[in-house]
Amino acid sequence: MDGFVIAVDRGRYTCVLAGAEHGVVGAELPTVTAMRARELGRKSVVVGDRVNLVGDTSGAEGALARIVRITERRSVLRRTADDDETTAEGRLERVVVANADQMVIVSALADPPPRTGFIDRCLVAAYDADVEPLLCLTKADLAGPEEVLGYYTELELPYVLNRPDSDLDALRALLAGRVSVLVGHSGVGKSTLVNRLVPEAARAVGVVSAIGRGRHTSTSAVALRLPPIHGIDTDPGWIIDTPGIRSFGLAHVSADSLLHGFPDLVEGTVDCPPNCPHTAEEADCGLDAWVAAGKADPRRLASYRRLLASRAGEGDQRGEIDQRGPGEGDRRGPDE
């Protein structure tokens, strides 16, 4: 039987069978509990994986199926605990989710202020994973989006604005038919957003993690089926909540690929010398002239070079200057 992994907890995997994933939603979604078969070896199974199941797939209490195969992943979102691949944390690569179509980067416009350093990292991770990014700006009743959107104006980054009293129609339309992974710092309103998108979220999490005695830890991801859109007979999609992701170490991303997270700077490297490191110390780097000519925001170049330095293990990541929002400096680590 073909299955879709929606939760992982201490060696047990909650799956929905193919076909059922497009059926009922919330806590009533029929699930199958499975374990990894020995023949999988060291291959990890993560939320979002499409798998093949054998054994008892009835979903009855106490039933246990086996995952015998992981189908080829169309996208893999990864992170490391550190940027520097020479460190133990940098070598420890984790697959966050598989087969996501879209990364929804949730950022508040105020309380707390937007953190563009974190957003930049998410964009690098999304582009590296071949996942489309979507910026979801919350608390739009407290501050306007102009400065944040201005910072990303050259990227034509898709975005939605949310207020506590606004409907979620625009966001729902962008989530429909897709598997979307939500990332964001605590306090930005991500949990509130999840609960508004899936009113049954708390009960659904309790069911899919029943194998872990009903707990949903702060480090576990869970896929939630979106309810149908009223009057529209289409696949409403899935969201994957990742409450444990508060940073993206990028040691798994090569220095060349890191630039792809800054598409507004790519054209500026055309006049760079061969093997240009693009650092501030490289006198002939074309990026400085590109920014000086007004073709990119200097803050974007500064952010890119901070990531380059961090990846090279230079400086104290925790002590680097990052931005609360465009133009407003603050002392904190690049992920915080």
Binding residues for GTP: 138-141, 184-192
| Token digits of residue 303 | 């952010």
Q: Which residues contact 30 (CB under 8 A, 6 or more apart)?
A: 16, 17, 20, 23, 24, 59
| Token digits of residue 150 | 């201005």
DSSP state of 237: -
Helical residues (DSSP H) of 211-336, grouped into ranges: 255-258, 263-266, 286-292, 298-311
Residue 301's Cβ-count burial label (10 Å; 0-12, 13-18, 19+) is buried
Residue type, 325: G
Residue 115 in contact with residue 334, Cβ under 8 Å?
no
Which residues make up each annotated binding site?
Answer: 138-141, 184-192, 272, 276, 278, 285
Number of Cβ within 10 Å of residue 86's Cβ equals 10
Judged by DSSP in three states, 287 sits in: helix
Which residues make up each annotated binding site for Zn(2+)?
Answer: 272, 276, 278, 285
